[in-house]
């Protein structure tokens, strides 16, 4: 799961002001289009009263949300089941072909020092076994994109009395609009009564997975596909914002 975005060092981004998002290996579009979209976002609001303070955002190193939900939805529940990678898990992953040597033989400790869990593991579209994301995505406001036409403000609300979290997108964006289609990821857990849900059973010939296609089934495993969203900025007054240029303390190597 390698991002197509490269952001400059994080700097404060007041949404009232002119925005520059840095340089991309493959530009999403022009900076002017991005500015226009954010201005539209502010004009449309996001269930925000006219008197409510507009958030100030800071650019952060690109982060990755593993999201579940209706692709056509602009809001919904279930954000408590969304995961977050504070850094790209792809380059830190282990190829399926190296599972025996780089994970099984090491007691599950990957070269990047994250811990593999055979009862709960993740694959990307290239056939890379990845570390788990952190659950859930912290409540707050984020600028998200699928590296396509739209960017939008994502609000993840705090948990309610039942532990459920709502989410909402601005800029008339649907979940599909801010999904990065080339990125595919799935979570694999054992089926009932099965003790070995192993990457060794993954069909290696199924990779690379076509953009938009489901991830392959693995014998002995329950599969859950997730959409992938890029976070490129977050509100400075989020409950636990990331310092510019730094990785959150939930990261295994922080």
The pLDDT of residue 26 is 37
Strand partners, 143: 153, 233
Residues 107 and 115 sit within 8 Å (Cβ to Cβ): no
**pTM here?**
0.77
The pLDDT of residue 240 is 66
Sequence-ordered strand ranges (E) for 91-237: 94-95, 121-124, 128-130, 140-145, 151-156, 166-169, 185-190, 221-235
Sequence-ordered strand ranges (E) for 68-192: 75-77, 83-85, 94-95, 121-124, 128-130, 140-145, 151-156, 166-169, 185-190
CA distance 149 to 232: 15
Residues in Cβ contact with 95 at an 8 Å cutoff, skipping those fewer than 6 apart: 102, 127, 128, 129
The pLDDT of residue 55 is 82
The pLDDT of residue 54 is 73
- In the three-class reduction of DSSP (H, G, I as helix; E, B as strand; rest coil), residue 91 is classed as coil
The pLDDT of residue 38 is 53
- Under-70 pLDDT residues of the chain: 1-53, 240-254
The pLDDT of residue 25 is 32
Report the 10 Å Cβ neighbour count for 70.
12
Count of helix runs (H) and strand runs (E) in the chain: 2, 12
The pLDDT of residue 52 is 52
CA distance 43 to 171: 9
Report the 10 Å Cβ neighbour count for 127.
21
The pLDDT of residue 97 is 96
């Amino acid at each position: 799961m390698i991002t197509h975005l490269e952001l400059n060092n994080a700097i404060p981004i007041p949404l009232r002001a002119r925005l520059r998002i840095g340089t991309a290996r493959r530009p999403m579009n022009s900076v002017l289009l991005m500015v226009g979209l954010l201005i539209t976002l502010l004009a449309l609001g996001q269930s925000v009263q006219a008197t409510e303070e507009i958030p100030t955002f800071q650019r952060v190193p690109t982060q990755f949300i593993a999201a579940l939900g209706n692709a056509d939805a602009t809001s919904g529940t279930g954000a408590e089941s969304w995961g977050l990678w504070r850094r790209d898990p792809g380059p830190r992953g282990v190829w399926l072909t190296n599972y025996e040597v780089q994970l099984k033989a090491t007691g599950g400790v990957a070269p990047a020092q994250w811990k593999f869990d055979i009862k709960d593991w993740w694959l990307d579209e290239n056939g890379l076994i990845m570390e788990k994301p952190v659950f859930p995505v912290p409540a707050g406001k984020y600028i998200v994109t699928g590296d396509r036409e739209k960017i939008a403000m994502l609000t993840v609300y705090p948990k309610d009395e039942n532990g459920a979290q709502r989410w909402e997108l601005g800029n008339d964006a649907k979940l599909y609009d801010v999904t990065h289609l080339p990125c595919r990821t799935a979570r694999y857990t054992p089926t009932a009564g099965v003790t070995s849900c192993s990457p060794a059973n993954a069909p290696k010939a199924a990779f690379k997975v076509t953009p938009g296609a489901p991830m392959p089934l693995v014998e002995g495993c329950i599969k859950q596909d997730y959409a992938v969203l890029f976070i490129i900025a977050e509100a400075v007054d989020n409950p636990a914002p990331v310092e510019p240029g730094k990785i959150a303390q939930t990261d295994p190597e922080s």
